Each structure stands twice: as structure tokens, then as C-alpha cells.
Amino acid sequence: MVSYFRHKLTIAIICILFSPLLTYSATIIESDDVTVSARVINPNDIITPVVTNPPGAVNIFLPKMGTSFKGQAYPNAQVFLLKNGVLVENVVADSEGAFNIILEEAYQSTILYTLYSQDLLGNKSLLINYPLAVYSGFITEVSKIRFAPTISVDKNEVLENEYIGFYGYGTPNQELELFIENNEKKEIYLLSTDTSGVFRITIPLNGYNLGSYKSYIKYSNDSRISKIINFNLVNKKNNNVKSNTGLPGDCNKDNKINLIDFSIMAFWYKKDNPPACVDTNNDNKVDLIDFSILAFYWTN
């Protein structure tokens, strides 16, 4: 009689543990062209016994389960993964921008995963959110993730009929579309990233009316856009606005970035109240990000 009840109890436990194997679901938002799939475990995915029963009883083996995130960021960029708002993993993308993050998880009906990437200049992508369900016996794979390009601007106030420069990172050798617009005007410029994932473009603003504009960039074959950069087109420089003119880091204004500019920036490294010409990303400090931007514009 004891053996009979033990047999029934074992069957009941196994049914309870593995009933989630019968179902799978996932909900994705902000998921242009993202692929979600689930693969069933194989023998190599079996965790060692977590429960050892008395002699004569059945040992219970639990299958591994979790989530996998694959996609494209920027070459050698960092990719961060948050789980319900808490950072749980970060990896470095390869030289082509590819990344893969795998998390072993316990069963949960819904987990909110959030990903973002940070390029070599320190600029972050917008957040991408994935609410997923994790089921026993399944590795939930989210693939074809692609962050929109990052974008920076060399000045946030431009004199009438002068130039503005945009730069940033994407995946290598990709066609891009840059948008500059306001309520009256919208212009689209075609460009592409180089083999290092870098893009740079300088645009003359003659023909643009004075006023405020917003700009953003995206891949030509994608709908997700970058963060929005705002700038003002004025006919007289506003001395209250801290902005760069010409090449970022060109403090002696000779239209070159060289050792002279490097020396000036090195002098202000981590010092208070740096001049605008060395504070290339306008964050009120001079750090390694500013040196990265200086290196990007290096001429001789």
C-alpha cells in the first residue's frame, strides 16, 4: 500500500513540474522584425539533481530554462540587459556589432526585459522592452534585435547660413537616413556607416529659416529612430548658450585637430569649469569620452 501511494505521488509531482511544457507564449513590443522562438531542451540542458529522495524513491531532474537575446548593436559597444528594471547582465559586442546574451531563469509568467547599448563615445541607444514568459523546458530566444544608430551633434546653436555636423555609430556598412525638420520644413539626407560602424556628415544650413529644429537618424530599411537632437538656427550667437563651433576640440580654431588640441584638453582633464571647446559633449566635464571624440576628428 505504501509503495502504491509513493508511485501515485511521484506521478503527481512530475505532472505538476512539467505541465508548463505544454504551452508557450511571449508578448513583444517595439519589435520591428524581431523573431521570437522557443526550443525544447535536449539532454545536455538537464540540471543535476536538486532533490535526493530516500532510497527506493525517484530522483527529480529539472530542465534548464531561460532566455536568449541576439542581435546587432555597434562595433565593440556595450550591451546592457535589465530584468524588471534591474541590471542583470552586460556584454561587449564583437567588431561587427553582434551580441548574444543568455540568462538561465526560473519559471515566471511575465518578465519585463529591457536592453540598451552604449557606443565607444559613451552615447546610449534608446531602450527596447520585451515582456516575456519563461516556461519549463524552453529557452525563449529573441533574435534579430537591432538598436537604432546613436547620434551626436557638434553644436546646439548654429549661426545663419553656417554648417552643422552630425556623427555617431551604427552597424558597419549600412545605409542611413538623417532627418532635420520643424513645423515648416523637413529634409532627409542619405549617408552610410563605414567599416567601423562610424558615420559623420556636415550639412550647410543655407536655405533654412531661423528657428528651432529637431534631428534624428535611422537605418534606411528600419522604422525605429534614434534619440532626437534639437538645435537652434540663429542670426546672432547667444552667449548664454554653451556650444561648440567648428570641429569639436579645436580650441585654437585652426580647423585642425592635432597635438595642440590634445594638450589643451589634457590640461583640463577632470578639472572644474572647462571651456566649451574641450567639453566636446557638453556635460560640464572633460573625461575619456571627450578624448574619444577628439580622436574621431583627428586630422594630423
Tell me, yes or no, whether 29 and 162 share the same domain.
Answer: no
Domain end point (choices 117, 145, 173): 145
Residues 189 and 78 in one domain: no
Q: Quick one: cell of 284?
A: 560640464
Three cell numbers, residue 25: 507564449
**Which domain CATH number covers 230?**
2.60.40.1930
Q: Which of 47-56, 164-173, 229-238 has the lowest mean pLDDT?
A: 47-56
Scored b (16 or more CB within 10 A) or e, 213-230 reads bebbbbbeeeebbbbebe
Q: In terms of domains, do 136 and 162 share one?
A: no
- Could you tell me if 8 and 134 lie in one domain? yes
Q: Are residues 152 and 223 in the same domain?
A: yes
- Asked whether residue 120 falls in the same domain as residue 47, the answer is yes
1-47 tens-digit pLDDT: 444 434 433 333 333 333 333 223 333 434 456 666 555 544 444 44
Q: Please indicate, yes or no, whether residues 77 and 22 belong to a single structural domain of this protein.
A: yes
Domain shared by 137 and 19, yes or no: yes
CATH code, domain carrying 98:
2.60.40.10
Which residues touch 207 (CB under 8 Å, ≥6 apart)?
none
Say yes or no: 257 and 164 in one domain.
no
Are 26 and 74 contained in the same domain? Answer: yes
Identify the band that residue 207 occupies on the pLDDT scale cut at 50, 70 and 90. Answer: confident
Q: Which range of residues forms the domain containing residue 157?
A: 148-243
| Same structural domain, 267 and 281 | yes
Helix (H) or strand (E) holding 207, with range, is none
Are residue 195 and residue 294 in the same domain, yes or no?
A: no
pTM above 0.85, yes or no: no
CA distances from 138 to 2, 128, 163, 223 (A): 35, 23, 54, 31
The pLDDT of residue 218 is 96
Query: Pairing mode, if any, of strands 229-234 and 157-159?
Result: parallel
The domain tally of the chain equals 3
CATH label of the domain that carries residue 257: 1.10.1330.10
Answer with the one of 129, 145, 161 that is the final residue of a domain: 145
